[in-house]
A and B are shown apart, each in its own frame.
Chain A
């Protein structure tokens, strides 16, 4: 059974810092991995999708990497801003499966 964990559970940083969020999964046979952002009481917004054949994806100040063999992904946020404050969730789709398995999320606070 696929299990997804995220470290740290919560993170508080001053504005302008670069930061890394970590995601680990137990079964390396994944089809793809997706990072989401969730604001309090809201739905999920897709940030980056990495297919199993890819090593990383970039969008603006965000960069996500994937290492299937070690069962890890990282989300790098450059020059953090207070507007980045949210919960960040990673999710993986197992091979030949159709539903994502989510991690519990990392709650990020960026202080002005």
Chain B
């Protein structure tokens, strides 16, 4: 049962371009939506997160857009850099579940120089 669906599976962007990754969820009880970044040979690490009481959160070049009615959220990476090349995972959880995250399938981002 895949509760968080992520697309695209892979994405190639030119340096300076905008990378957009989309996620959709089913469980309306989810109330915390983090994005994780994973470099090859490393564990995932928290990049940015949002709660459903706001529609957008920005940290540097990374922005999450959240649409509660559509049950969708997306990650935008502005001015993408080769160092952003990694696998990105969206996730969702109910905070009362004690950080039991449900992950999307992951998006492998490649930023060409």
A, B: real partners? no
